[in-house]
Structure 1
Amino acid sequence: VLSTADIPYLAERVGDDIVTASGLTLLGADDKAGVAAIMTAADLLMKDDSIKHGPIRVLFTCDEEIGRGTSKLDLKKINAHVAYTLDGSDEAIVECETFSADQAIVTITGKNIHPGYARGKMVNALRAAAVFIAELPQDHRSPETTSDRDGFLHPYVIEGGVPEVKIKILLRSFVTAELDDLAAILNAAATKTEAVVPGCKVAVDRRTQYRNMAEYLKAEPRAQALAEQAIRNVGLTPVVGSIRGGTDGSALSQMGLPTPNLSVGMHNYHSPLEFACLEQMEKAVRTLIELAKLWGAERL
């Protein structure tokens, strides 16, 4: 059950059609709303010969939420000049900036033995993990304490036992160079943990995930400019935004295919209170049609 007490924004959508689930599970509007808008636009373009446009390719990826949505893509087969993801909230928003993102997998190695005879012998990796996490920023540079342009460190999975613990940590910043600063915090925490818990070993394995798409969209300014114009053409005022996260467009842009993200009317994604606004989804479809027209008139 959705209410304005939980979601004040609903008051702005009075009279609109809202699609939601039971409140006990995700709706999956992220990104079924995008799939629905893309398929509806494709259907309209195929049926209406009066809409002039150039070659258009539709691409659906899987595993976007775990950062693998583009891992098997071949840009030569896609053969596109620009692309757009339909993976945004609300309406009229063109998102041309994302976090730059790395993941760190921290492995803490201890030494197990029967607890009844452990004095001077056991090295408990769980206790070492507690020390490590306590060394991370608590009142800043954490998801719970950041907003707007702030980056963060986010330990989001911990698993293991006395002999070994693994901690998965997200590193996020709009400024790619700041990922090195965040990684330095992890390395310092590792050194401190080894000092506090003698005998434990802490290894930090940092892995690249994606980079801020803004660094790559400069190669084709029309990707953003025409998206803004398409939004104006459907009677809305475009809003240029940044994503405190990433999309497949982050990786595609880095691979050489400029890919801004567009609104598709989904809200509260990743939450049991997730919902989609049908009228906003319809505007997303109209925006795609306008984009097709605008790019059809361009010379590459």
Structure 2
Amino acid sequence: MKTTNSFELTRLAGLTHTEAIHIIETAEKKHLEAGGTPFARGTIKAPRSGKPTPVYLLTDDEVRYIATVSHSKFWARLCLLQPRWCPVGIDREELRRRARTARQKSDERRKYHRLARRKALDDRLAAKREAQRERELRAKAIIDEARRERQRLREAEEARREAERNSPEAIRRREEARRRRIEALQRVNNERRRELHQARLQLDAARERDELEAAGLYTFPMAQERLHLPPGECLSGFLERRRVITYSKGRSQLLPPYDGHGYTTTATVRIGRERDTPASVTVWTKQGLQFLRRVIAKAQADPHDGQWWHTPPVY
């Protein structure tokens, strides 16, 4: 008996093999419930993959039975293509009516499924939006709670610092630090004043020394420096031992026969730690420096003098 496999039927009807298998299995259930036998099955090689594929091997009577119990437009299309598969007692107009009915039902099912899918999609989107809104609300609540906790901790920390800042110990430490800063600043200012004062005194002394040198007058320290005496020797002590000078009323004077030759004169200089006390002192003139050089040379030439002077440089 000639059979047609289900794969060929799907090619003729323009549907997938899975859809055809579903329709055939539904018709087979009805056939078994009516007391019939199962449809024959077989295996063919798939045209594309080449793998063995299970198929139904249907006779013309079985195809007509499927067309009788099925209102699928695809089987109606098969019956219109092959009149031998058309069920007995069903004309072509009935097949067309069945095809229209099946198409209408298919359209209604597609519309229903489309609306159902749209509703399901809308429900899923609404659920996602609601879940997203709930997540955002939870996240916002968590963030707000964390912000409030940080604010509370910040306020507690500020209150603690304020309490520490206003505590008697902190006030005492600040006052002590302020007192130390003021004392340090005063020390720096006093040291700076002292340095400026010393610099001013040195400047005044240098100016007074320059004025005396410009006038050709030399005090005892200036004369000792000009005569290049050793650091350990004192000019006034040497002259006093040589009975060249003597002290009277706090001022040195030449003794005879050295007085009256213009070797010395008096000048007013400022003395004291602050150099604020004017005093009249004995100073040496240029002739006096020449006289002192002769006295020193005579002392160096005398082997019994007991004074050891270095040889002054020759100008």
| TM-score category, normalised to shorter length | under 0.3
Q: Over alpha carbons, which structure has the higher Rg?
A: 2
Higher strand fraction (1 or 2): 1
Structure number with higher helix proportion: 2
Normalised to the residue count of structure 1, the TM-score between the two structures is: 0.18
User: Relative contact order (C-alpha < 8 Å, sep 6+): which is higher?
Assistant: 1
